[in-house]
Amino acid sequence: MNIIEVKDFSFSYPDQRKEALVHASMEIQEGTLNVICGRSGCGKSTLLRQMKSVLAPHGVSAGSILFKGKALNKVDHRMQSSEIGYVMQNPDNQIVTDKVWHELAFGLESLGYDTEDIRLRVAEMASYFGIHQWFYKSVEELSGGQKQLLNLASVMAMHPSLLILDEPTSQLDPIAASDFLATVRKINRDIGTTVIITEHRLQDIIPYADKVFVMDKGSVFLEGTPREVGQKLKAEDRGIYLSMPEPVQIYGEIDNDLPCPLTVSEGRIWISNYLEAKKKSGAVQAENPEHGDSMPESKEDEKQKTLKSGKNSLCAIELKDVWFRYEKDSPDVIRNLSLKVDNGEFYALVGGNGTGKSTTLSLVSRVRQPYRGRIYLDGRDIRSFRDKELYNGYLGVLPQDPQSIFLKKTVLEDLYSVIGGRKNKKSPEYPIDMKKEKAIEGIVSLTKLEELLERHPYDLSGGEQQRLALAKVLLLRPRILLLDEPTKGMDAEYKQELGKILNKLQQHGMTVFMISHDVEFVAEYADRVGLFFEGNVITSKETRAFFAGNNFYTTAANRMARQFFPDAVTGKDVVSCLKKLS
């Protein structure tokens, strides 16, 4: 039986010529786990919001959506509230009360359940999700992962038959994200709840999906099992293939007739079988293939050559014995932190939610000030900069929430707000500033915003908002770029574009300091990586050395291939090593 049927559904936002959804169709069977994937802005979130009437955006629609065989718009809100659970991208956007226990009970109270039933369901959910240990805490004390788990538990307390999740791990660190998605799989397996999820981190969810739907330009163009979809995408040479799990991508780059692996463990078995086949054919002589010469020169090696040539002699960013707490009597968030970032370097900080990474970025951007210690930019105390000098051409700051820097009603107007308002082309007394026009055209092309210029910034997808925020920051032409989770909500294709942009900016002398949970992106593009824990940098190493030595904070490619190629960190590294054997 189909729990949801989308039939030839189209939708357009107000005053937009281009449709966000174009004749989209899909059938979701009851009790299954379904993944919807696609590029940023392809219509995934818009489609999910249409599956719950109260969340459906305002606009013009055509076609139909059925829930359990009945038109969704004929299903009353009470039934939708109890039967259709929805978890949003940002945990803070869904929490409405001040205490954990009250948040668990809120939905049930709103539906009018009696006290005994509420107590039973709240206790059941707190036990099932392991929330009993922080049951009486204030929600403000919770980490991002705990908040998202609380949202999931609050939704599940109403015993929905359909659970919809819109990129629920976009703000979580890798370990918290993996735990959260494991819980989603458990709900589907143990309770039988139908799950529909959109997710850019396909590594942890797509291998367990019953069905995968791939969207592009507002419609579903491909559906099937994970293996079927992976093979078809590779054959069609679609960019979305970059979003497939790393084992699938590596498999697709190697000429072989073995079954396609979906998980890291399957990937290890596939490599072992592939090497065994090569050994029998005489291509591999040793029991453990030689990998030392297979690795390309690291970015750190290249940077050291630059340093030896006499460039980049000063630290772009230096923190000395920095301490910070939010309130006088509260615990220290940053503890005796010392850190150096070289000029022209791409430095990334990784670590769990709530360890102090974003707070560090706020100190470097002078949004907050330490109560002890010093921060220097190019050897100069950050306190000596005037605001206009610091933020106009020196520091560029991309915040974790891109909406916080949007000011106007359209993307184009928002871009012009950075360098001066756009003049009226029809009025000769207000001539166009061609220099500004060229600057806008260049940044629009660089960040791929051409088709979004007349859209309201708040109507963009998460990935599109990140691109607009980056465009605004780059228009200020900063020397030091501070990025807080810049790949959040971005599809794999544009992540690749972003990486190339940042490396190009480096070549022009820009220093990049980034906070990120996206270890795959960091491994591909950063020069050095630091692990943040309890207010300090525990270790700071060249990127390959950092990831090759970790078990959890490392890439899927490294976990998959480390027993064969210990220094291989990215998928490209593994492919390079395997091709050396051909």
Are the CB atoms for 34 and 202 separated by under 8 Å?
no
Nearest CA among 550, 549, 499, 508 for reference residue 527:
499
Residue 293 falls inside a structural domain: no
Domain final position from 417, 451, 476: 476
| CA–CA dist 307, 313 (Å, integer) | 7
Domain span holding position 171: 2-90+162-244
Are the CB atoms for 493 and 216 separated by under 8 Å?
no
pLDDT given at position 289? 47
Residue 83: left (phi > 0), alpha (psi -120 to 50), or beta? Answer: alpha
Residue 515 DSSP code: E
| CA–CA dist 157, 148 (Å, integer) | 14
For residue 453, the number of C-alpha atoms closer than 13 Å in the C-beta half-sphere is: 10
Cα torsion at 360, 366, 368, 372 (round to 10°)? 80
Residue 98 falls inside a structural domain: no
pLDDT given at position 286? 47
Kindly report which listed range (62-71, 298-307, 410-419, 547-556) carries the lowest average pLDDT score.
298-307
| Residue 396 confidence class, pLDDT cut points 50, 70, 90 | very high
Nearest CA among 150, 89, 159 for reference residue 118:
159
pLDDT given at position 10? 95
Residue 309 falls inside a structural domain: yes
Q: Are residues 233 and 344 in the same domain?
A: no
440 phi and psi, to 5 degrees?
A: -65, -45
Q: Are residues 487 and 377 in the same domain?
A: yes
Q: Which amino acid is located at 64 in the chain?
A: S
**Is the pLDDT reported for residue 72 higher than 70?**
yes
Nearest CA among 240, 278, 234 for reference residue 256:
278
Q: Are residues 414 and 498 in the same domain?
A: no
| CA–CA dist 183, 502 (Å, integer) | 35
| CA–CA dist 217, 88 (Å, integer) | 22
Residue 44 falls inside a structural domain: yes
Note every long-range contact of 133-140, with CB atoms under 8 Å and residues 24 or more positions apart, other chains counting: 134/100, 135/100, 135/101, 136/99, 136/100, 136/101, 137/99, 137/100, 138/98, 138/99, 138/100, 139/95, 139/97, 139/98, 139/99, 139/100, 139/103, 140/98
Return all residues near 300 (Cβ < 8 A) that are at least 6 apart: 527, 528, 542, 543, 544
Task: Catalogue the E-assigned strands of 329-433.
Answer: 334-342, 346-351, 372-377, 380-381, 395-398
Residue 50 falls inside a structural domain: yes
Q: Are residues 78 and 174 in the same domain?
A: yes
| CA–CA dist 546, 531 (Å, integer) | 9
Are the CB atoms for 9 and 64 separated by under 8 Å?
yes
Q: Are residues 422 and 438 in the same domain?
A: yes
Q: Are residues 84 and 198 in the same domain?
A: yes
H or E segment at 29? strand 21-29
| CA–CA dist 3, 376 (Å, integer) | 58
What is the tens place of the pLDDT at every residue in 93-148? 899 999 999 999 999 999 999 999 999 999 999 999 888 889 999 988 887 778 88
Compute and round to an integer the Cα radius of gyration of the chain: 25
CATH number at 316 reads: 3.40.50.300
| CA–CA dist 573, 558 (Å, integer) | 9
Q: Which amino acid is located at 287 in the chain?
A: E
Q: Are residues 176 and 239 in the same domain?
A: yes
Q: Are residues 199 and 237 in the same domain?
A: yes
Q: Are residues 210 and 327 in the same domain?
A: no
What number of residues does the chain have?
582
Number of domains into which the chain is organized: 4
Q: If you count DSSP H runs as helices and E runs as strands, how many of each does the chain have, helices first?
A: 20, 20
Percent of the chain clearing pLDDT 90 (strictly above):
55
Q: Are residues 32 and 173 in the same domain?
A: yes
pLDDT given at position 141? 81
Per-residue pLDDT, averaged over 449-455, amounts to 89
Residue 132 falls inside a structural domain: no
pLDDT given at position 402? 87
Residue 114 falls inside a structural domain: no
Arithmetic mean of pLDDT over the chain: 87
Q: Are residues 414 and 528 in the same domain?
A: no
pLDDT given at position 298? 53
Q: Are residues 276 and 314 in the same domain?
A: no
Domain final position from 476, 504, 520: 476
State how far the alpha carbon of 79 is from the alpha carbons of 74, 116, 220, in Å: 10, 21, 28
**Is the pLDDT reported for residue 285 higher than 80?**
no
Residue 133 falls inside a structural domain: no
pLDDT given at position 273? 93
pLDDT given at position 292? 44
pLDDT given at position 133? 84
| Residue 313 confidence class, pLDDT cut points 50, 70, 90 | low
Q: Which amino acid is located at 310 in the chain?
A: G
What is the tens place of the pLDDT at every residue in 145-171? 788 899 999 999 999 999 999 989 877
